[in-house]
Structure 1
């Protein structure tokens, strides 16, 4: 653009600089806008509206004269943009500091004050470029400026919308600067936060407009973004060819879901590398037509899922070439409540554990969980209602047709609301799913739908992969940590099923098979046991007898109350599901006051009247001393000596209590001791 060739009026120049969608603009009643309180945001929602007229010169004149505020959507009718913007919604933004950061990173961004006191960082192009290219570049700028990843970016979509398309236009326009001209509070700044006049802003935009190649460098150049380059442009085409093949050959009832997944993944790729969205759409549409499917069905899925994928980021194929720490200041983290799937037992966004000996009803319980979630049903004994949604099941021990599905139907579930991930398809056949290598695949599966609420992994040990030692804390933590992140990102409850060790005499949280990291990773751990009662035999001796009931107890709850008052008794009964087929089902009996430790018979001999031994005293010492977290082994040994506990007795007590010893990394690392689930200084 050359200012000398432009019309004289500021309105005409601003229309050319900040052109966008010709079909609509945004506006609001400036006089009726809610004023901010305590540094809050100027609220315009009550009067904001999208007008089915493009940003005319007259609209710009009214805007610059302070008569009518103007909002513009940057995506032009052909899907290109000549400007973009970062909307840093911090009402106490230091514009001078942001200007300095932009200068330091040598970014061609103009820093403007928003209507609420935040910052709009404008980018101007010398010629139109695809909207997706601007989005990628501005995401790269976010990283270089250390702004939050969820900061809003304009354009918000990659194709032009229309006034009737609320999905693409309702929040796609940005309030323009210089409302009121030089008397504005929406001004742009220069060095030291000094205010630019309208004329200075126009001159800056003309001088600093960049080319398409310069735009590409905006997000690929510079040391601060090198660590974020996770994929190469050359990786996209092989992946897309396989994705199109998958779309064309998907089973008929899975066609829509497959298209949704492909579109989202294309959007994920486009969030990090240049992708020809139009070409990808054309090829995907051709594959869709080869299925004899309609354009209307394609259009219903494609655009909105492209946009959703770009928001999610993280392309399906990642090449790790750099690591960098991510720091979050506590003052910037909002306080939120725990979101429960089953209040007090299983939570949304968390990893939970369900453990018990074989044959006690664990899989029946998981199918009851899935069935209740499928219909948003009520939990027993007035414990609330489930969030309705889908369940993803990974089951390595039970056959789907003769075990899982009958048990699910016996629990009253809707079979349309459960997906079973039973294998991974490869070019040469199939293989088992492996959490240590396939977590990205699980991420994509959950990302293809918005209604998953529950993931069941039964048993967790079957999905660790052949190279993972389930008794090694570091191995287990390395697998479970990404799963916990997926639970948070996709807002699902992940329930991992496990077994208990055969030998008794341990606390409930120390009785789970494998490394103590399983219990440590879980925010909640429930234990399934047989109900045992004391009876007096004919010889007068007290012994234990089964009642035929099962107990569901809470052994660990890091995000809510735990204790004996949360225990439930149930029976496994036979349920007729039709066609002469019977399946086991859960029948709730009553609420009980019994702890998880008591339910598994921990310290059983002491309860029968035997005098505590030296090992019993040492176990009590360990539970008391390590209750608050880990402790240096040397300090623990010294404290035990002061209690009169011998080295041999302490060693036996550690084994019986399940105390874990672990050495710090590096030469000269110290040894630490902790109880399973209590090593708060070693988070997963």
Structure 2
């Protein structure tokens, strides 16, 4: 039994106060319902979602969530729901309610959250889904929180979900059914284990981020989504989905229509057909693509092309039958450009640096590659970028002319990143440096610098850190600055009035960098709640 269920009134009171502080809401509104009636309805229809309005009671209470209300909630006597939008239109928390149920779903989400490095904490929901909480160390407008949660949900590929705040204008919001209703709706850690309320409060405190860090995470999520905003399917890392299969079919039709292909292997219609039949056979077997649709589309495209080159349907049938059978036997199609050694640009976005030059964010195989214009136009330099961001070389084209034609197709679909997600290069570096210095778990002592943590030297009013640890943090953000040399990063640090120096730590001389703490707003430190040990 968790300590919040203890019969000790003082222990329960402190937990109730801690939860009230963590989940502030409006001063004139909260939610509750008749729990006994809800339990009866749920027992009668265990597989149906029960509407709370059918449960009676004071559904919409014209009163804030008090400590007493929280105490009753934790004791499973009076359920509590709260809106994250406070009276001033700001929020200190937000929530994504994923309505897909099951432990396997939660395990999948936890992996995606960790992979994307999203500042979200998972709890069980009332209906059996998941509540993904965002906690802030400072107030943010409800509209900004809504925008960030929208980006996070898209990054996770969610299909059936609700957001709290529940609309972009931030004026009103529905209430969220709060966690820890007795022995229900507990926090789930990264390992998939349910944890006590005390552990949840600790996790929530550690997960708090500044508004700036929230914006950075949202911008990265927007820039690295595996599809545009209208496509809410979960992108699969290896095998394709039905949507990918239909897109693949369109790509092969385009190859037949291309009279001046970049890849010289696809000049002749029969070679295109052989590669297409093999590739589409794989997609038909494992991704639900219709064999009839694939056959009919390729037959029409081939006949149109062969009208110029000459050929009959018997030739088509012979090539299709052999190559399609081989592809169908293999299955498991990979999400790459059909039959090409050239990278497939899934999405091309750009922003401009301080000098007005474009910096490209190019999506390849679901990951983001950052490149400047000189790096993009030189296939050797672009390969270096791919090694940095994809951990592999992506192309071996030797011809500048062919590479030029190919990237032009990527430039034809380029789009500028919306202005609200663009920051100047100097400000972006300062922002990402700040997230390293104040949003990460900081060193308590100078010795902990050796563990990769930044340390605040309060005697000299500065933050101290190793360059290698900053570089690791930049890589975790897929930052454009990760490709810069240490000399270039050092210049950016010195532009912030910082410098490097040597410290003796445990008898070892360590080269470190430092920046004045006045340039950074530290995350407010909230005194931890102290709780008595669980008497059990």
TM-score bin (small chain): 0.3 to 0.5
Q: Is the radius of gyration larger for structure 1 or structure 2?
A: 1
Choose between structure 1 and 2 for higher RCO, CA contacts under 8 A separated by at least 6 residues.
Answer: 2
| Structure (1/2) with the larger helix percentage | 2
- Name the TM-score, length of structure 2 as normaliser: 0.40
- Name the TM-score, length of structure 1 as normaliser: 0.32
